[in-house]
Amino acid sequence: MKERIVILLALALLGIAAPTATAAIPSGNLLKNPGAEAGAGSSNGYAAGALPSWTTTSSFRSVRYGATGGFPSTAESTRIGGGTNFFCGGPRTALSSASQIVGVAGAAPEIDARRAQANLSALLGGHLTQPDSGTVGALFLGASGGQLGGLTLGPVTAADRGNATKFLPRAGKALVPAGTRSIRVVLTATRREGTYDDAYFDNVGLTLTKLAAPPPTKKLKAKDVIKFTSSRHCIRKRKLKLRLKQPTGVELQSATIFVKGKQKKVVQGAALLKKIKLKKLPKKGKYKVKVVVVTKDGQTLTRSRTYKACKKKKKRKHK
């Protein structure tokens, strides 16, 4: 403490301002090697094309513009500012991908105050009339790695491209969910025709923007979030499925399900966006199922519905 005071006094005497803390929101593209320029691209689409900073599956690779075999030309690269290489799905597989995880824990104060916006962009393309296509996703991950939300771009269809071998720009934005500590960007190439996956990507971008103020809280109705199966019919095999709908601009934090007043199940994270399956329900009679949902902006939503178990059919005695 004394040393810091001495340093600050010395700076003041010299007329030098003390250093200020850097902004928590990082600037610029957060992705490394966003255009597949690091490493040599394949000259024919089959030889391996290195992709430093990306974790790839199957035959996903980088390819040079103008590579033999009908790939995007150097003229197309000039038109879009594509550089030397681009990302490509590759041969011998129907599905391939490349992913990269970006840490954003330094922006935790803004993220948890709902004042950070993620901006995702990319160039997506394909080959002539072929329906192969790609998507770019940004998955928001919590400290334990669980998915808190996501944002997806694409696909771009052959019709979008006018059946030409070219790239089209796509962009999207989303509020970064509170609790996010890293963002996983995934390029997914899907082959729908032939033996080569001609889904192309280039100039992938991920940036964060600090919002002047958190988005206003959207008041929700329980019926718009909690979706029950119809109770007109009895429940067979003691099983029931529920569904939660997450409205735009609102994040769900947890859901607690009660059956006959007792806690049956607690759901959190990515499981909130999937069907919730309840098993071993009461064998007979009527019972109430209550769902309590808590949102990350502090709202609590409660909805109940009464169901009844199906009666067992009596076996007929044969004379």
Judged against a pLDDT cut of 90, whether residue 298 lies above it is answered with no
List the domain boundaries for the chain. Answer: 22-210, 222-308
pLDDT bucket at 316, cuts 50 / 70 / 90: low
pLDDT of residue 3: 52
Least confident of 15-24, 71-80, 174-183, 237-246: 15-24
Query: Domain 22-210, CATH 2.60.120.260 — does that match?
Result: yes
pLDDT digits (tens, 9 = 90+) for 60-73: 999 999 999 999 99
240 CA to centre of own chain: 28
Q: 132-146 burial, b if ≥16 CB within 10 A, otherwise e?
A: bbbbbbbbbbbeeee
Least confident of 21-30, 105-114, 121-130, 141-150: 21-30
Percent pLDDT > 90 in the chain is 67
pLDDT of residue 14: 44
pLDDT of residue 19: 41
Residues in Cβ contact with 189 at an 8 Å cutoff, skipping those fewer than 6 apart: 60, 88, 89, 90, 95, 96, 97, 132, 133, 134, 197, 199, 201
Q: What is residue 235's DSSP assignment? A: B
pLDDT bucket at 197, cuts 50 / 70 / 90: very high
| Range of 38-52, 75-89, 104-118, 302-316 with top mean pLDDT | 75-89
Q: Which fold has domain 222-308?
A: Immunoglobulin-like (2.60.40)
Distance CA 150, CA 134 (A): 16
Computed over every residue of the chain, the mean pLDDT equals: 88
Q: Which residue has the tokens 């990507």?
A: 201
